[in-house]
Structure formats: C-alpha cells, structure tokens
Amino acid sequence: MSIFKLYLFGSPRLERAGVAVKIARRKALALLSYLAATRKLHARDSLATLFWPDYSQSEARVALSRHLSYLNKLLVDEVLVLEGESVALRDGFWLDVTEFTEVLAAHPTVTAGDLPADLSTVQAAIDLYQADFLAGFTLPDCP
C-alpha cells in the first residue's frame, strides 16, 4: 500500500501516511495531479508548454524544473521518475480516481437482483466520489 494518497475528486489534496501534506504552489499540485491522473511518461517540453503556455520554451523549462525540484523535496520518497527528458510518477501512488475506476470496472453491470451482494462495492465507489473531478481548482494561465 502506498504511503501517499492523492484525492482528485473535489478540491485536490495529498496525504502522506494519513496526514495532510500542504502543497503551497498551486501549479505544483496541478502538475502532480496531471502526472497521477495520466499515469504515463511525459516529455519535459510537453509539460512545460502545457503548464507555462505564455513563457518561452526555455523559461517554461526552468519553471518546470523548479516545480519538479519542489515536489521532489516535498515528497522525499523518490515518487517522481525523472529520466532525462521524461517525467512520470512512480507506480504505487494511490489515487482516488484510479481506485474509483477499478471498483466500477470490477462490477460493470450491477442489476437490482445483484445489489445486496455488490452493495459494499457500490458504496465504496460512492464514498470515493466526494465531488466532481478537481472541483473548484483552476489555474488561470493554463488551458
């Protein structure tokens, strides 16, 4: 089980071993959320362009490096995969959206006749869904 839990239903929040972790930089939280939700390797240039669209490419790369460094120091457990020109989040980082999807995928068709047997599964999915994805979270300078 992962020491980190990231919740993206509702206002995003991060926990480490059950304790809230404050991420002071909104863009760092957005970057972490994006890496967690997409679960793949991203080119640094793509991330820089996505999160700093109004910057020159070199300025955007510097900003990305600063935010990745900030996250690395904050997370301390080498949660980020930084391989040359690529960035990703290591496997094992718990995410409510992934858990929600897996719970529902395990029970694609729940009928009224099956409901008592699957009630705990349905309730688990309902409990995870606190609010809309990233509800109330915006970055005005990003698309």
Residue 17's domain comprises 4-94
Q: Is 102 helix (H, G, I), strand (E, B) or coil?
A: helix
The helix (H) or strand (E) run that includes residue 64 is: helix 57-75
Residues 55 and 87 occupy one common structural domain? yes
The helix (H) or strand (E) run that includes residue 7 is: strand 4-7
Residues 57 and 112 occupy one common structural domain? no
Residues 74 and 87 occupy one common structural domain? yes
Residues 26 and 37 occupy one common structural domain? yes
Within-domain flag for 64: yes
Residues 90 and 101 occupy one common structural domain? no
Tell me the average pLDDT across 123-143: 60
Residue 117 scores a pLDDT above 80: no
Residue 136 scores a pLDDT above 70: no
Q: What is the pTM of this model?
A: 0.78
State the total domains in the chain: 2
Within-domain flag for 135: no
Q: Please state, for a pLDDT cut of 90, what percent of the chain lies above it.
A: 31
CA atoms within 13 A on the CB side of 21: 20
Within-domain flag for 26: yes
Contact 9, 100 (CB under 8 A): yes
Residues 91, 69: Cα–Cα separation, whole Å: 19
Per-range mean pLDDT, top range of 9-18, 63-72, 93-102: 63-72
Within-domain flag for 33: yes
